[in-house]
Amino acid sequence: MLEVLEARLRARAPSHTGLTVGDVIAMLETFDPSAPLLVGGEYGGFEEVLGFRKINVKLNVNDAVGFGPHEIAEVGQRPDLTAVTLRTAGSAQR
């Protein structure tokens, strides 16, 4: 019975294919905790991660080249889910 209920929830829930916060925590536990956390820069190089931010997201709304598929939900719009995004020095300027 539980399997049937879980299958119904999966069918209705918006889907994403990326990592979860739990996945990232498990992976980060395998690294030296004093190592800096970096992400690729927009045009090359690397940027330091400054923090994290919760965002309300609409899934699979962009299909234009160069844009990620998901977008921040507009004010008054019901989000598909709440996600966590990385905050970098470069993202603060955009």
Residue 47 lies in a domain: yes
Kindly report each contact of residues 20-27 with a partner whose C-beta sits within 8 Å and lies 24 or more positions away, as own/partner. Answer: 21/84
Residue 10 lies in a domain: no
Residue 3 lies in a domain: no
Q: Which helix (H) or strand (E) holds 53?
A: strand 46-58
Model confidence pLDDT, tens digit, residues 41-50: 888 999 999 9
Residue 85 lies in a domain: yes
Residue 79 lies in a domain: yes
Model confidence pLDDT, tens digit, residues 3-53: 655 555 555 556 677 889 999 999 999 999 999 999 998 889 999 999 999
Gap between the Cα atoms of 91 and 86, Å rounded:
8
Model confidence pLDDT, tens digit, residues 51-86: 999 999 999 999 988 899 999 999 999 999 999 999
Please give the residue range of the domain that contains residue 33.
19-93
Single pTM value for the model: 0.70
Residue 8 lies in a domain: no
Residue 42 lies in a domain: yes
Number of structural domains found in the chain: 1
Gap between the Cα atoms of 7 and 3, Å rounded:
6
Instruction: Tell me what pLDDT residue 89 has.
Output: 82
Instruction: Tell me what pLDDT residue 13 has.
Output: 58
Residue 72 lies in a domain: yes
